[in-house]
Chain A
């Protein structure tokens, strides 16, 4: 069985400051991990994915995530928040057949 825990339901930052969205996972085997972003009333867009090629994964819009097996974590970061980053973010783990398990989501608010 696999599971995902997003440690914060809401994160609030000021524009230009760093963003950290935390995610811990549980999986019986070497996982595939993803971060998706969802703007209000929109579908989900893939930010980045971990596929075991490199532990530090760079995604779109300046986001990156680091896979830490010892900590079973896959936290999402961005050096400087932009107003357009305000959205809901989902950490997702995939099993070997491609079945996804979603975290509960973290709502990111960016203040001017």
Chain B
């Protein structure tokens, strides 16, 4: 069966420090991968998605970047964190290209920028 891992689970970082969040998927190949951010009291905002190694699409301009160095690895990064980067970050994967294929979510990373 497929599983998705995210780490760390929680992170507290000072403003201006770098960030690296990692997501890995097991049990599937060539998944579509997604990064979402969930701010307090708000819905989910799609940040990035990837349909293959090295292929990244950004949904909103921001202080973050994403990379996909391996088929089942998706990394979210920042060179200098802002207070507004605080939130709950969720990674998701999806198999296939049909509209009916649901996304499966990881456990999330709670990021607090102080």
Binding site for B on A (CB under 8 A): 31-32, 34, 36, 41-46, 49, 51, 90, 94-100, 102-105
Contact = CB atoms under 8 A, between A and B. Distances in A.
A43 B35 CA distance: 12
Nearest to A36: B105
Which of B46, B88, B92, B100: most chain A CB closer than 10 A? B100
Interface of B (DSSP majority class) = loop
A100 to B, nearest CB: 6
Nearest to B88: A41
Contact of A44 (B49, B96, B105): B105
A46 B88 CA distance: 18
B102 interface: yes
Contacts of A98: 32, 94, 96-99, 101, 103
Nearest to B45: A102
B22 to A, nearest CB: 15
B107 A94 contact: no
B98 A104 contact: no
B108 to A, nearest CB: 5
B53 to A, nearest CB: 18
Interface in B10-43: 32, 42-43
A49 B101 CA distance: 9
25 contacts: A36-B105, A41-B110, A42-B107, A43-B105, A43-B106, A44-B90, A44-B92, A44-B105, A45-B105, A46-B102, A49-B102, A51-B100, A90-B44, A97-B97, A98-B94, A98-B96, A98-B99, A98-B103, A99-B46, A99-B49, A100-B46, A102-B43, A102-B44, A104-B42, A105-B43
